[in-house]
């Protein structure tokens, strides 16, 4: 994968995992902790970059109840910061 002209190898389908996390409908009861979700997503991406042969992750538990629009925004912010 090329990001801003740099070759990027992300193992274990990390980008796929982020995409899957975004596609899973939000469900929940109490108000989700968006900051904790963003932290968990950032750690998941870092882990995928550091361990290219690791299997893909799943939607972080910290993101339970976070709506799709917010997840998309968080993913865009994380990717822009990491590769922007």
Domain boundaries, given as residue ranges, for the chain? 2-83
Average pLDDT of span 41-47: 93
Cβ-contact 18, 40 below 8 angstroms: no
What residues have CB less than 8 Å from 66, skipping those under 6 apart? 26, 32, 34, 37, 74
Query: pTM to 2 decimals?
Result: 0.65
pLDDT band at 4 (very low <50, low <70, confident <90, very high): very low
> How many whole angstroms separate alpha carbon 77 and alpha carbon 84?
9
**Length reported for the chain:** 84
Q: Please report the pLDDT score of residue 54 as a whole number.
A: 83
pLDDT band at 2 (very low <50, low <70, confident <90, very high): very low
Q: What is the mean pLDDT of the chain?
A: 78
- Residue 77 above 80 pLDDT? yes
């Amino acid at each position: 994968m090329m990001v801003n002209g740099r070759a990027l190898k992300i193992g274990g389908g990390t980008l796929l995992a982020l995409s899957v996390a975004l596609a899973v409908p939000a469900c929940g009861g109490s108000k989700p902790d968006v900051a904790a979700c963003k932290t968990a997503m950032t750690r998941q991406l870092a882990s995928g970059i550091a361990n290219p042969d690791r299997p893909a992750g799943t939607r972080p538990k910290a993101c339970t109840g976070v709506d799709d629009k917010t997840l998309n925004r968080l993913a865009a912010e994380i990717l822009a910061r990491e590769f922007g």
